Amino acid sequence: MASARPHLTDADDGFRRFPGARALDKIAGGHPLLPVLEALPAAVYTTDAAGRITFYNQAAADLWGCRPEIGKSEWCGSWRLYWPDGRPMPHDECPMAIALKEDRAIHDGEAIAERPDGTRVPFLASPTPLHDASGAVIGAVNMLVDVTRRKRSEEHQKVLLAELQHRVRNTLAVIRSIARRTAETSATVEDYTMHFDGRLDTFARVQAAVTRDPTAGVDLASLVAEELLTCAAREGEQFKLSGPDLRLHPKAAETFGLAIHELAANAVKYGALSSAEGHVTVTWDLEDRDGAQHLRVEWTETGVPVITNAPRRSGFGTELLTQTVPYQLLGTTTLTFKPGGLRCTIEFPAKGVLQ
């Protein structure tokens, strides 16, 4: 019995068209169907019942990166096919082949097409068998959707999730360390609470700065200024900052921020910020040494009425400045207790620390 449902195939004149199908020669508005399919932005192609390609539009050719031979190429026009996990996929196992062999529509079957130039395109295929009036399969139509952007977005999300998980683990490790060392160096519960809250607030401010723009780093001047302003110090009257615009990597900013907090907390309790006559000056600059740049930061206190001596015991702040900072930033810290106030010099290589 002749088919009452024509399908796309090669015409005798060599053009791809709908033969012998007056009802489908034209569609809405009187426009020919073939130019509409050619103009579709989605990749569309058809096969006969045996799987031989009978039509494809320009979008399909662009996706495949080649032009399969009408009437001879089978199942799919791609150069090579792969399963989503990267294993080679035989053409006779592709979604179009399964749809024809099993006479069922497939929605969003995943595969990867390799072009002749070696590039690969992940795509979703939705082949649907076509039937004649008797119900016999006479071919199939398939639409391919390039999901390269979606895949890249998914991979990007995986990277971000892994980075977030890594950052959360590091954050918890730092908080545990701060809590443990604060407890070990605190004489009372009240002392522990005060110091732990201050250190945790500093750490949180650094995390907030990183979260606002993870790729931009943390502005050094803002980091120092925020810590001093948190201590109710007045810029211009009680402290002064001077140095070039520099941004720290997030991990370096965590360590450096805690160091500045310890200096500021000590200044409030014992040093320049404990009296109206006191003043803190923080300067920083880049210096060339042995062909590499080093960052030098100086914290200088003046106006302390009592001659300060080095503390008799090493607390959390002293250990952070003299041990943790040099270890984390691969540099050195020098603490000088002199008449008039404390001077702290921190030096470390700029590489790996500056954004």
Among 81, 92, 33, which Cα is nearest to 57's? 33
Asked if residue 44 and residue 18 are part of one domain, the reply reads yes
Asked if residue 108 and residue 239 are part of one domain, the reply reads no
For 300, half-sphere exposure in the C-beta direction (CA atoms, 13 angstrom radius) is 11
Place of tokens 């041990």: 323
Structure tokens at 151: 């895949």
Asked if residue 162 and residue 131 are part of one domain, the reply reads no
- DSSP per-residue codes, 110-173: EEEEE-TTS-EEEEEE--EEEE-TTS-EEEEEEEEEE-HHHHHHHHHHHHHHHHHHHHHHHHHH
Q: Is residue 4 part of a domain?
A: no
Asked which of 119, 146, 173 is the last residue of a domain, the reply is 146
Q: Is residue 354 part of a domain?
A: no
- Measured distance CA(164)–CA(157) in Å, rounded: 10
Q: Is residue 184 part of a domain?
A: yes
Instruction: Give the other-Cβ count within 10 Å of 211's Cβ.
Output: 10
Asked if residue 263 and residue 136 are part of one domain, the reply reads no
Q: Which domain holds residue 247?
A: 151-349
Asked if residue 157 and residue 134 are part of one domain, the reply reads no
Asked if residue 139 and residue 49 are part of one domain, the reply reads yes
* Residue 44 · residue 59 · CB < 8 Å: yes
Question: Which pairing describes strands 279-289 and 239-242: parallel, antiparallel, or unpaired?
Answer: parallel
Phi-psi region of 217 (alpha: psi -120 to 50; beta: other; left: phi over 0): left
Q: Is residue 2 part of a domain?
A: no
Question: Which pairing describes strands 53-56 and 120-125: parallel, antiparallel, or unpaired?
Answer: unpaired
Q: Is residue 65 part of a domain?
A: yes
pTM exceeds 0.75 for this model: no
**Across the 355 residues of the chain, what is the mean pLDDT of every consecutive 10-residue run?**
38 37 38 68 90 91 93 92 95 95 93 94 94 88 92 85 81 84 84 87 87 84 93 89 93 92 91 90 92 93 72 73 90 88 92 86
Asked if residue 179 and residue 126 are part of one domain, the reply reads no
Asked which of 125, 146, 167 is the last residue of a domain, the reply is 146
Asked which of 146, 161, 186 is the last residue of a domain, the reply is 146
Instruction: Give the other-Cβ count within 10 Å of 188's Cβ.
Output: 8
DSSP state of 344: E
Bridge partners, 293 (sequence order): 288
- Measured distance CA(234)–CA(240) in Å, rounded: 9
- Measured distance CA(49)–CA(59) in Å, rounded: 23
Asked if residue 161 and residue 61 are part of one domain, the reply reads no
Would you call 269 helix, strand, or coil by DSSP?
Answer: helix
Q: Is residue 3 part of a domain?
A: no
Q: Could you give the number of structural domains in the chain?
A: 2
Domain with residue 73: its CATH number is 3.30.450.20
* Residue 240 · residue 282 · CB < 8 Å: yes
Q: Is residue 272 part of a domain?
A: yes
Alpha carbon 139 to chain centroid distance? Answer: 45
Asked if residue 299 and residue 213 are part of one domain, the reply reads yes
Residue 169: what pLDDT? 84
Asked if residue 171 and residue 119 are part of one domain, the reply reads no
- Measured distance CA(297)–CA(259) in Å, rounded: 11
Among 301, 304, 295, 267, which Cα is nearest to 282's? 301
Q: Is residue 136 part of a domain?
A: yes
Asked if residue 246 and residue 164 are part of one domain, the reply reads yes
Structure tokens at 169: 């683990």
Among 336, 189, 351, which Cα is nearest to 263's? 336
Asked if residue 289 and residue 210 are part of one domain, the reply reads yes
